[in-house]
Amino acid sequence: MTLFETLVSNTIKEFKNQFGVEPKWLASAPGRVNLIGEHTDYNDGFVFPMAIERQTVVAAAPLEKGPAKVFSVQTDEMVDIYVDGSSKPPITPADVKWSSYVQGVVACCFEAGLKVPPFCAVINSNVPLGGGLSSSASLEVSVATLLETIAGKKLGEKQKPLVCQKAEHSYAHMPCGIMDQFVSALGQKDQLLLLDCRTQEPKMIPLSDESVSVFIINSNRKHELTGSEYPERRAQCHEAAEVLGVPKLRDADLMMLESARDNLADKQYRRAKHVISEDIRTQAMAEALIAGDWERCGELMYQSHFSMCTDFEITTPELDLLVSLARLLGVEGGVYGSRMTGGGFGGCTVSLVKTDKIEKVSDFIRKNYHAVTGIEPTIFATRPAQGAVAL
């Protein structure tokens, strides 16, 4: 059995265990990894993610009367979810619970005209929660896909991820961009998704060369955050764009940035430098990928990491170490490139690795990362996966 088949079968088992009947509906949606283009989304720039072979699965059946009952295997908790449009978003970020994500999607789908009768459901996932692989988007998109199945009616192709994003904004108090939900909903097997966050136009770029694998390494170390880091970066980018006289940093280039340097605070300058250069790297990566120029792809990934480390300041010593170990192996040792991926301050690195060297690369990094940090990293290879489906 594949990992996915095992997940589906365990979810069905747990559903019968919780509710004593067979599920009638099943839906799934994947997590994602962003190959390059970090913190560019809310600056109206480019991101380059793919869906990964890790999913959230939801199994459900009708209930006679509401509220809906939803159980998560990961939190081992059953909650009430209101399907009649009567729910209210949590007032402060401190009031957000895991169930807020589910309630948010149900409420925002209701608002978008996707109304469902009461149901009972079990949620199960092998996307690590809070590991930077977007368990939140995979949860939201799997629930939205389930609601489409129950209602027998579909949201628009782009409407679905936008509704899920709205749920995360309003019910999880997380002002996220559109990347995670878009790729979880629209990802395709063996395809990367180059997304222009301004036009919200996705462009599929094939990654079908089987000699190259996408490697994800979870540093398994999350740093204590005050919660202000993400909004702070957003605000600094916004201020920098104002000084540069452009609507968003997407509209600025490096020449404009250099000529305005004296008017920018040091942090504003460095934040803008990361975003503007990252947009260039992301588009260059798409070109290099189409050309099959893996060494160029790798170089762009290292540059991206360096920029996030020195200018955007969102990496951690553990993520820097993982990238240094990859670099030490180099192309000879089987690694084309590596970088931190996701919002930062912990989580994962993404690397392009020669498929026939996967074992060696994995052993080397595991051993040395553990020797320095005492932490066991989680390592897996994945190919670009299919987005959300009703099963």
Beta carbon nearer to ligand ADP, 173 or 354: 173
Choices 70-78, 187-195, 299-307, 380-388 (CB under 6 A): range interacting with ligand ADP: 70-78
Q: Which does 75 bind (CB under 5 to 8 A by kind): Mg ion, ligand ADP, none?
A: ligand ADP
Q: Is 180 a catalytic residue?
A: yes
Question: In the set 15, 19, 101, 215, which binds ligand ADP (CB under 6 A)?
Answer: 101
Question: Which positions from 74 through 93 interact with ligand ADP, judged by CB under 6 A?
Answer: 74-75
Number of H helices, E strands in the chain: 11, 13
Shortest distance (Å) from residue 298 CB to ligand ADP: 24
Task: Draw the binding track, 282-321, toward Mg ion (x: CB under 5 A; -: no contact).
Answer: ----------------------------------------
Question: In the set 98, 215, 336, 369, which binds ligand ADP (CB under 6 A)?
Answer: 98
Beta carbon nearer to Mg ion, 225 or 290: 225
Burial 37-57 (b: 16+ CB within 10 A, else e): bbbbbbbbbbbbbbbbbbbbb
Alpha carbon 255 to chain centroid, angstroms: 31
Structure token digits, residue 68: 């809906």
Structure token digits, residue 24: 């009638």
Give yes or no for residue 136 binding Mg ion (CB under 5 A). Answer: yes
Look at residue 31 and give its three-state secondary structure. strand
Q: Which does 72 bind (CB under 5 to 8 A by kind): Mg ion, ligand ADP, none?
A: ligand ADP
CA dihedral 37, 39, 45, 49 (to 10 degrees): 40
Phi, psi of 195 (to 5 degrees): -115, 120
Beta carbon nearer to ligand ADP, 45 or 104: 104
Phi, psi of 208 (to 5 degrees): -110, -5
Residue of 67, 58, 171, 176 whose CA lies nearest to 122: 58
Structure token digits, residue 271: 């934040």
Within 10 Å of residue 79's Cβ, how many Cβ atoms? Answer: 17
Structure token digits, residue 323: 């990238």
Beta carbon nearer to ligand ADP, 129 or 291: 129
Look at residue 157 and give its three-state secondary structure. coil
Give yes or no for residue 231 binding ligand ADP (CB under 6 A). Answer: no
Structure token digits, residue 297: 């792809």
Shortest distance (Å) from residue 140 CB to ligand ADP: 9
Look at residue 134 and give its three-state secondary structure. coil
Helix (H) or strand (E) holding 176: none
Q: How far apart are CA 154 and CA 160, in angstroms?
A: 8
Q: How far apart are CA 357 and CA 31, in angstroms?
A: 25
Q: Which does 125 bind (CB under 5 to 8 A by kind): Mg ion, ligand ADP, none?
A: ligand ADP
Choices 109-117, 127-135, 325-333, 362-370 (CB under 5 A): range interacting with Mg ion: 127-135
Identified catalytic residue from 41, 44, 180, 279 = 180
330 touches 295 (CB < 8 A): no
Beta carbon nearer to ligand ADP, 56 or 316: 56
Give yes or no for residue 28 binding ligand ADP (CB under 6 A). Answer: no
Shortest distance (Å) from residue 222 CB to Mg ion: 13
Closest residue to Mg ion, judged by C-beta, is 136
Give yes or no for residue 373 binding ligand ADP (CB under 6 A). Answer: no
Question: Which positions from 110 through 149 interact with ligand ADP, judged by CB under 6 A?
Answer: 123, 125, 129-136, 139
Give yes or no for residue 10 binding ligand ADP (CB under 6 A). Answer: no
Shortest distance (Å) from residue 74 CB to ligand ADP: 4
Beta carbon nearer to ligand ADP, 127 or 150: 127
Strands 25-34 and 389-390: antiparallel
Strands 119-125 and 25-34: unpaired
User: Which residues of this chain interact with ligand ADP, rule CB under 6 A?
Assistant: 56, 72, 74-75, 98, 101, 123, 125, 129-136, 139
User: Which residues of this chain interact with Mg ion, rule CB under 5 A?
Assistant: 134, 136
Active-site residue numbers? 180
